[in-house]
Amino acid sequence: MPKVVGFQWERYEAWRHHPLLQFNKRNAFPGVGIGFAAFLAYVAYDKSQPKEDHH
């Protein structure tokens, strides 16, 4: 085994590569895509229904 010479940066920089610290757009807000699609379906359904004047 070779002798280690100098400062071991890899040991102190390993936290930067931890999975919890990696930003991933897909996993940042789970369920937002499904919620947005459901909201659009609701709005489309609501707009397609005839309005009743009850006042």
Question: Which pTM does this prediction carry?
Answer: 0.50
CA distance 33 to 17: 27
CA distance 40 to 48: 12
Summarised one tens digit per residue, pLDDT across range 1-55 is 566 677 888 878 888 887 777 777 767 778 898 999 999 999 999 999 988 876 6
Provide the 8-state DSSP code for 51. Answer: P
Domain boundaries, the chain: 9-48
